[in-house]
Structure 1
Amino acid sequence: MRFSLDPDREVPPRELGGILGLYDKPPYRDWLAWWTACWTIFAGLAIAFPTTESARTSSLPRWLDALLAALVFGLLFGVIPAYVRLLVRRRVIRQRRRKDAAAQVPGQPASSVEPLSQGPSHPAPARPPLPVRPPSAPSRPVSLATLDLSSIQRNSVLTEARSSLPYPVARSVRKLQLAGDAREMYDVALRTAETLATVLGITGAAWARHRGVTTEALDKLEVAYVTRGVSQGHWIDVARSMESPLAREEGPVPGMADALRRGKGGSGLLYDLDQLVAEWNRWAHGAGPRNKPEAAERLAETMPHLERALERASFLTEWPWVLIEKSQWRRRERDFLVSASRAMGDHPDFDHMSITTTETLADDIFYILSPTGAIDLTPLVVIRPCPTCHQREVAYADKLDKNKGVSLKTFDRGHVLYEPSLVDEIRTIAHPHGNASDAI
């Protein structure tokens, strides 16, 4: 019994019965796990450190008495209540499934079987023929088109996104096309939408810092970093707040202003992202698909929004991400020859490239190459060694931890790592710092 119950927060989903079938996973979010731990520790300490007035009633060593007391109290006041809760949950789930099954099978008319005529010249058959019951019909017909996953694997919009969009989005689209079944594909589709919203918001926030633009959404983003963390909604609000500043931009800004502009009837990139966030919230609150056919239906409803969002976000191909490797000053030309890696497409080994610029760019930093100059993505996007993967991963700033620094989450696998050196920049994320050279 494992269900994702959390709202749109950057925390691991809660899995009912994820530990031994009794306790929820992660355990620190299960009150009964805390209850068991408290009783176990309390009983052990009470026996291990008795009061001076208490009389000793056992010949066993005190440490063994404490261990046995901890086990007994943990069993009586922790494991047994957890097992009772498991039985209650199973009963509730069985009742819910029976109710759903009853709702799915329409009422069938009672079948009548005419009695066989028996004449004197015809002996009665030994057994009457059994009535043939019509098969029960599902409550909602599932069309074969929704179960045809090969159309997603061959989708031209997704294939183009894999080869041209920034690495985090392209990598997620690759996972979507390689998913093995409808349920996995549904989950990855929601993750892809989350990554796309994050990249759009990061692009807007980085451009705003680069151009000295401030908005109310950026102020809320700054507050979210130092409180509960950043969600999809924050990133979409940041992207939405960039529509007016981009429309007033004097220099050419490829495609972003047009993509953020609403179409007829409220349609557009932001509308599709809002629909995808609504579907994400349904899944996160426990209303996700329960089986593969239902996942296929939900996927058929979700994919049009995701395809349109990826297609309308194709302007990001004109905002390439590059990772600076080495910058060399050329005295005669009075510019820099920069060796960089182009972080576009789904392959983790970025393509090498060389650029010349008069701007001072820092090594090992991600930049967006825009027509108005190189936009520093730090502290929103960085590359750091991942202690879990044992390799360098592209990560984005997720929230601020008071003790460990900035919590970074890798785009590819969602691993968490910490970077104390980014704290000051995250705390002032809504305040512009000038152009790229000023940030170094």
Structure 2
Amino acid sequence: MQTDSDPLEQHRLLLDLGEALSACLGVVSTSWLAAEDPESSALSELADAFFARGVSQGHWHQITISAAKAMALGDSEVAIPGFIESLGKSDSKSAIGSLRMLLQERNLSAHGGRPTTRGEAAARLAEGLPLIENALRKTSFLESVPWLLVRDVKFESRRGTFRADLGRAMNDHPDFEAAQMTNVEPLEEGKFYYSTGSRMVEMSPLVVYKYCAKCHRPEMLFADRVDPRKGVSLKSVLRGHQWFDGELAVDMAALLRPPGGERAPEFA
């Protein structure tokens, strides 16, 4: 945002940043619930959204609150460090409260209320910047919860462990920082994980790394909807490109369990 001096463009980037942070929190929260509290009603409610019109920022906010409550009530050893302290509240001064206010601004802009002059954009930007700064400050614990893309896994028979070559996602940078780790459980190549400190949590198919035909390079992609004919709708984090992947639909159904116990649709 600091690289663009146009208030109109800065206003747009502000809303995009709020949406990206909401999605990141939602993906981390959903993955944790699926691993630690798979019977959570919050997952069923999220399934309703995924298999209908798609998830919105509001859905991500709600699943984040649900995950914080589940961590507070459960075993502290499996909670994400810093999560409860940062996201255990949803009042106006909390991270979720700030993100909800930014969502109101996005909804206003999306329904004919977008600022039309630089002066108007600057005024609304002045109101929005403290909100995103508060949300980023209160979710800074995410810096210690890196997203790791598994590049290669080898079994070390003498130790009975698995050595993984990883790519560590670096904020909005398109490339990955090389890393390695040894784990007692195997990790699946080509998938994203994060560590709670006590275990590795799989993030796929909520976030994947696949080749983008429009960008002509692999991209990090978020899932936001399941179409009954086309499969999982994927959106590029950096460029907003969208396309569908039928192979991920079964994985999404297994993660969230579609409402009503429906079987995952089959795709050609």
TM-score for the superposition, normalised by structure 1: 0.56
Q: 236, 257, 268: which one pairs with 2:84? A: 257
Question: 2:9 aligned with 1:187, yes or no?
Answer: no
Deviations 1:345-403 (A, max 9, x none): 33212110111111110111111122121111111000111111111000011111222
Match of 1:4 in 2: none
Contact 2:69/2:88 (8 A) holds in 1: no
Relative contact order: is structure 1 or structure 2 higher (C-alpha 8 Å, sep ≥ 6)?
2
Could you list the structure 1 runs, at least 4 aligned residues long, displaced by more than 6 angstroms after superposition.
Answer: none
Greater Cα offset, 198-207 or 219-228: 219-228
From 390, 394, 410, the equivalent of 2:236 is 410
1:302 equivalenced with 2:131 (yes/no): no
Identical counterparts, % of pairs: 34
SS in 2 for 1:258: helix
8 Å contact from structure 2 (residues 34, 43) kept in 1: no
Counterpart for residue 119 of structure 2: 293
In 2, Cα distance between equivalents of 1:429 and 1:334: 29
Structure 1 gaps of 5+ residues are: 1-175, 432-440
Match of 1:437 in 2: none
What residue is the counterpart of 1:114 in the other structure? none
List per-residue Cα deviations over 1:4-45 (Å, max 9, x = no partner).
xxxxxxxxxxxxxxxxxxxxxxxxxxxxxxxxxxxxxxxxxx
Q: Normalized per residue, which structure has more strand?
A: 2
5+ residue gaps, structure 2, are 258-268
Residue 327 (structure 1) aligned with residue 148 (structure 2): no
Q: Secondary structure at the match of 2:175?
A: coil
Mapped pair 1:347 → 2:173:
yes
Q: Distance in 2 between matches of 1:266 and 1:378?
A: 32
Q: Which amino acid aligns with 1:178?
A: T
CA contact (8 A) 1:225 1:427 kept: no
Name which of 207, 230, 234 aligns with 1:381. 207
Give SS of 1:208's match.
helix
Measured at CA, do residues 260 and 353 of structure 1 come closer, stay the same or move farther in structure 2, by a change above 3 Å? same
Asked if the contact 1:387/1:417 (under 8 Å) is kept, the reply is no
d(CA) in 2 for partners of 1:282, 1:214: 36
- Alpha-carbon contact 1:239-1:260 (below 8 Å) kept: yes
For the 8 Å contact 1:217–1:234, the answer to whether it is kept is no
Residue 399 of structure 1 aligns to a residue in which SS? strand
Residue identity matched to 2:11: Y
Instruction: Please give the per-residue CA displacement for 1:230-281, whole angstroms capped at 9, x wherever unaligned.
Output: 1111111110111221112320531001111228x65211111111111111
User: Greater CA radius of gyration, 1 or 2?
Assistant: 1
Which whole-Å CA distance do the structure 1 matches of 2:197 and 2:176 have between them?
22
For residue 139 of structure 2, give the secondary structure of its aligned residue in structure 1.
Answer: helix
8 Å contact kept, 1:343–1:350: yes
- Matching residue of 1:87: none
The 8 Å contact of residues 206 and 377 in structure 1, kept in 2 or not, is answered as: yes
* Post-superposition CA distance 1:91-112 (Å, at most 9, x none): xxxxxxxxxxxxxxxxxxxxxx
**Pair 392,320 (structure 1): closer, same or farther in 2 beyond 3 Å:** same
SS at match of 1:243: helix
1:216 aligns with 2:216: no
Instruction: Please say if 1:248 is aligned against 2:86.
Output: no
Amino acid at match of 2:50: Y
Alignment of 1:87-102 (within 5 A): none
Residue matched to 2:139 = 313
Match of 1:272 among 65, 79, 98: 98
Give the root-mean-square deviation of aligned CA atoms. 1.5
2:48 maps to 1:236:
no
How many residues were matched structurally? 255
